[in-house]
Every structure is written in structure tokens, then in C-alpha cells.
């Protein structure tokens, strides 16, 4: 992968600007010019409504939305573009499944020990409102998913396994194919939070046999305010819309409504047309780079960070210690320092930008007795110099401020 060539596509790295090291892509990625231009074309050349008006500008928008839906379907290897629903983010997609599926009191939902709040809070609400039961598959002491522990919490009472694919705390990817097999053997559906996996590795929803899969475009070179829900067509047809109104219905009377077919029935209201077009451009960009190349590049950068800091006194890496198990994420703490202070000092001293805090995964941090962490997360535009500058900056912070 030619990182130097890729960096030229990202305006933040224009020559003449002061060098900075952006290592916060697990929160939000940067966008290449190709995505920005695709969105600008909507506003400049055909700023109209799709699927409503029939004039030439509206027709151009409709065609571009169809192209974007096809691109996302191809990216995930969905059976058809009809299995792709556009939402405003991964959180909305996960809520659409949780609150759109028909559950009964006493139904059991299984999740992992390290879920993001987007795949935790909706189930807490339904636990209270509907009387659902919750079970959690444990994590090992090394911070890995415990497959044997998962088997122990599964039985025929479980109606859905709603689980993160790659967690955003330590970067561990769960054995999803095996999880899906076990869940289906017990008659349960599988709903996947793919916010941190889809940007960083190949995802084949048909090979994995997942029932639902959610992602956010803003973590994978796309615009903010855009998400995707993939669902098997026969399951989407059983799902209730989270919102309803214009654009999602075929016809109404004063006392009845007929909804449009899937996926349009889930896309009520005026859509983020520029965002959808930008999402299509983002996945096309990633397809050209190659997701296997993305994954290997990030592992290489993580090895540089890990080898440079593993023996640093007073630095505590979140497990697992093997960088190949952590994908793009390097999470750590420095003795005697709050994670927010670490992040702010790295920015001020070295223009190295990382995330800090609990990363919307409060229960997991509580379970391991850690009050948050600093998190460096790389992507395709980060080079080896970025990783080395990060190492040197952390060493300087630790030597200057650690207890």
C-alpha cells in the first residue's frame, strides 16, 4: 500500500501545513478529496429531491443514490442492494433492530462484556420497558472474547445475540463466524455492531451469515451523520420502522397507511442525499485500496507502537499485549496521570492527537477496574513516521509527568 500517495488525497496533509499526527480515527476518520468532491457535486450540480420529483435534477439524485446503495451492498457482499438501509449512524441502525424487532417478556438478549453504549443502552431500555433479560459473554483476563464462556450463556431462551465485531477499547475482534453458528444452533438471531470492523478489514456478511450488521460512514472515510444497516431481506421485512412519515409510505388514507417495500420503508423524511453519495464514494475508495491491505498496514503500525513502548516504565498497555490482536488500536495509561491529561499534553507538546476517557464502554472499564485510557488509533493515511513520533511523544510525556 502506497501510503505516501494516499496521503495526498487528504486535505489535512497538504504540503505547507505544519505536520500533525492524527491518531483518532476510531472516533472519526479523515475524508479524502474524492468523498468531499462527490458531496459537493450534489450541492453544486443537482441539489434536488430524490424519489419525489421527476425532473432531470431529481432523476440524477435518484440514480446516484442507487449507485451508492449498490456500492455498499458490494462492499459488504450483501445478496442485493435491497438489504441496505441508510440511517444517520451506527447507533440508529442498532436501535432500529433493537426497537423494531418483536420481542416478548422474558426473551433473553446476549451481548459481550465490552459493548459500546450504542449496543448496550437500547437493551437496557427494553429490559425495563418489555421485561427482556440480559446475559453477557465474558472476556478473558487477556481482554479477548471468551468463546467457551459464550457457549455457557446460550440456550433456547436467547432470541438475539447483539454483539460488537471489533471493540473500540482494545481493538479485539471476536470470532464472529463461530458466534453466529452457535447462536443459530440455539435459534437466535445475530445483530452485529460493525462500527470498528467495517473500516478496517474485509467484511462478508454472507460468509459470516449475520442477520443484521450496522456501521457508521464517518469512521470509514465517509461523511458524518451517515450510517448503514444491512439485514437479510426476509428479516428486514419483519422489522418495524423506527420512524415513519413522508418518503416511507406508498399511500395513506385518513385511517390507514401502506408502507413502501424494504429498504425505503425505513428511510422516512428527506434523506441526507449528499451524505449517501459521499458514503458510496468512501466505500469505492476503500475497495480500491483493498481491505486486506488496510488490515495489514494497521497491524504493522501497531507493532511499531507496541515494540517502542512495551518496556517503558510506568506505561500500562491494555491487554491483549500482542499487537496483531489489536488491529488499529493501541490503548494505554501512564502511572499517575489521567487519560485526558495524557491526550492534552500529547497534543500540546507534539501535535499528536489521540482519544481519551471511557470510549462509551463504561461497564467494561468498571469490570477491569480501570478508569478509562488514552487510545491511539491508526488508519490508511498514517505512516511509519506517525507511529514513531507517537512513540517518542509518549516517552517524553511519561518521563516528564509520570509518578
User: Which residues are tagged catalytic?
Assistant: 360
375 CB-near residues (< 8 Å, 6+ apart) = 24, 26, 168, 169, 329, 330, 331, 332, 354, 355, 356, 359
The answer to whether 141 and 395 are in contact (CB under 8 A) is: no
- Write the CB contacts of 256 (distance below 8 Å, at least 6 apart in sequence): none
Amino acid at each position: 500500500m502506497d501510503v505516501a500517495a494516499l496521503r495526498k488525497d487528504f486535505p489535512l496533509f497538504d504540503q505547507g501545513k505544519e505536520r500533525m499526527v492524527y491518531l483518532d480515527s476510531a472516533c472519526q476518520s479523515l475524508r479524502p478529496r474524492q468523498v468531499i468532491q462527490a458531496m459537493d457535486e450534489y450541492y453544486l450540480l443537482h441539489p434536488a429531491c430524490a424519489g419525489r420529483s421527476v425532473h432531470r435534477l431529481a432523476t440524477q439524485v435518484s440514480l446516484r443514490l442507487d449507485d451508492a446503495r449498490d456500492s455498499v451492498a458490494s462492499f459488504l457482499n450483501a445478496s442485493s442492494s435491497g438489504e441496505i438501509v441508510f440511517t444517520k449512524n451506527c447507533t440508529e441502525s442498532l436501535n432500529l433492530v433493537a426497537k423494531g424487532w418483536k420481542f416478548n417478556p422474558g426473551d433473553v438478549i446476549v451481548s459481550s462484556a465490552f459493548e459500546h453504549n450504542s449496543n448496550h443502552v437500547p437493551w437496557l431500555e427494553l429490559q425495563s420497558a418489555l421485561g427482556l433479560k440480559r446475559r453477557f459473554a465474558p472476556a478473558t483476563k487477556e481482554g479477548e472474547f471468551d468463546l467457551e464462556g459464550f457457549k455457557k450463556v446460550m440456550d433456547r431462551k436467547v432470541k438475539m445475540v447483539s454483539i460488537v465485531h471489533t471493540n473500540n477499547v482494545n481493538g479485539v475482534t471476536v470470532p464472529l463466524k463461530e458466534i453466529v453458528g452457535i447462536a443459530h444452533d440455539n435459534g437466535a438471531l445475530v445483530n452485529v455492531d460493525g462500527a470498528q470492523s467495517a473500516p478496517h478489514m474485509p467484511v462478508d456478511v454472507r460468509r459470516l451469515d449475520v442477520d443484521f450488521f450496522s456501521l457508521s460512514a464517518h469512521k470509514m472515510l465517509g461523511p458524518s451523520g451517515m450510517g448503514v444497516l444491512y439485514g437479510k431481506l426476509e428479516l428486514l421485512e419483519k422489522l418495524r420502522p423506527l420512524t415513519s412519515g413522508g418518503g416511507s409510505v406508498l399511500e395513506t388514507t385518513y385511517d390507514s397507511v401502506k408502507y413502501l417495500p424494504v429498504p425505503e420503508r425505513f428511510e422516512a423524511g428527506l434523506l441526507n442525499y449528499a451524505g449517501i453519495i459521499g458514503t458510496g464514494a468512501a466505500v469505492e475508495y476503500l475497495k480500491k485500496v483493498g481491505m486486506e491491505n488496510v488490515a495489514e498496514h494497521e497491524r504493522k503500525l501497531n507493532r511499531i507502537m507496541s515494540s517502542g513502548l512495551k518496556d517503558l516504565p510506568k506505561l500500562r498497555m491494555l491487554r491483549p499485549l500482542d499487537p496483531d490482536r489489536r488491529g488499529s488500536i493501541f490503548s494505554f495509561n501512564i502511572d499517575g496521570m489521567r487519560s485526558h491529561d495524557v491526550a492534552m499534553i500529547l497534543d500540546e507538546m507534539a501535535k499528536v492527537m489521540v482519544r481519551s476517557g471511557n470510549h462509551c464502554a463504561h461497564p467494561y472499564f468498571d469490570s477491569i477496574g480501570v478508569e478509562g485510557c488514552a487510545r491511539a488509533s491508526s488508519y490508511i493515511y498514517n505512516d511509519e513516521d506517525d507511529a514513531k513520533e507517537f512513540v517518542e511523544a509518549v516517552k517524553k510525556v511519561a518521563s516528564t509527568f509520570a509518578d
